Structure 1
Amino acid sequence: MTAADTRAMCWLLQQPQAARRARLARQVSRLGDGPFYVALTLLIWWFDKEGGSLFALTAMAAYALEVPLFVGLKHLIQRPRPADALESLSAFIQPADRFSFPSGHTAAAFVMASLLSVFYPPVMALALGLAVMVGLSRVLLGVHYPSDILAGATLGFSCAMIGLWLV
């Protein structure tokens, strides 16, 4: 898997359009930051008088699982970021930490997308599409391998489902 990840990263980041794609990817990646999900959850809680409180409670439970799990996995596995492991690559942004597996941005995006899909099915395609774009942006920025994204998506979806079960 590491060999396939390395080949994919080298191919993507050595394309002539890599820098241009990285500018757009940087904007998309910001959707994976925590403040966006807090604001979205508060808006849903405020405007949806019937289901907003349950959505917010479920989101809090899911993120209470996801955040320590992704941090713990990163420190347990300690997979170096692509630019740290491959001299021929350089990242387009400075990541918040040293390790890449799993992608925390992708995990957070998939928690939110999964919960939105369950609570508000009409937005499923948009929510999942944005989550996939957040994950892809992390690869295009050179801070994650494709398998980091797959692991983050799996972690985020799983935490959302456990959060639904708990609440």
Structure 2
Amino acid sequence: MNLFARTDTRLFYWLFNFSAKRDCRVIKWVSHSGDGHLYLLIGLALYAFEPLHGDVFLYSALLAYGMELPLYVVLKKLFKRQRPCDLFHNFNAHVTPSDKFSLPSGHTAAAFLMATQIAFFYPSLTVLVYTWAMGIGLSRILLGVHYPSDIFAGAMLGLTISFISLDLLM
């Protein structure tokens, strides 16, 4: 195992141990807030009730997710990185992952994509939405289904695609 992989694994265990043998309901709730349903509700609510930026926000977010999702699937299949909960046998993950591979984190990509969209149109919410996005990423490690580097890759994917969609529409 190379230095990067060893460091990533050590950091994973260090973070995961904070949630080992604990009640993870709050962590699971934070993770589930990144499942995608909330993003659609935010977009539709802004479209319906926010006349200044609501329509452009929705269009930009839909464009971004339309680019991010296929790229995320291709990257998962390209890297085929095993999840820590499937590779290591000395612990139990707190949730069952929705797919087989871990790189990049889709929850984190989507959360940072949405946070970037919100921060662009509503700058006063920047600290709140990026804190929430980081919480989603951290929750995926604490639940035992992602390495820290998966989270970093997901965050970079979400940020990049969001900026591309904003650049195309603005």
Q: Same fold (TM over 0.5)?
A: yes
Provide structure 1 residue ranges, at least 5 long, that are not aligned to the other structure.
none
Report the alpha carbon displacement of residue 21 of structure 1 after superposing the two structures with TM. Answer: 5.8
Asked whether the 8 Å contact 1:21–1:140 carries over to 2, the reply is no
Give, in whole Å, the separation in 2 of the partners of 1:34 and 1:140. 19
Question: Please, which runs of 5 or more residues in structure 2 have no aligned partner?
Answer: none
Q: Does 1:162 align with 2:157?
A: no
Q: Trace 1:49-64 onto structure 2 (pairs within 5 A).
A: 49-64=51-66
Give the drift of 1:71.
1.0
Alpha-carbon distance change, 120 to 52 in structure 1, aligned in 2, over 3 angstroms: same
Match of 2:9 among 6, 17, 31: 6
Aligned residue in 1 for 2:43: 41
> What is the Cα deviation at residue 88 of structure 1?
1.3
1:1-167 counterparts in 2 under 5 A? 1-15=4-18, 17-20=19-22, 22-167=24-169
Cα RMSD of the aligned pairs, angstroms, is 1.2
Equivalents in 2 of 1:90, 1:72: separation in Å? Answer: 28
Q: TM-score, normalised by structure 2?
A: 0.93
Identical aligned residues as a percent = 45
Alignment coverage as a number of residue pairs: 166
- For residues 37 and 50 of structure 1, the distance between their equivalents in structure 2, rounded to whole angstroms, comes to 19
Whose helix proportion is higher, 1 or 2?
1
State TM-score, norm by structure 1: 0.95
**4+ runs of 1 displaced by more than 4 Å?**
none
Distance 1:58 1:43 in 2: 15
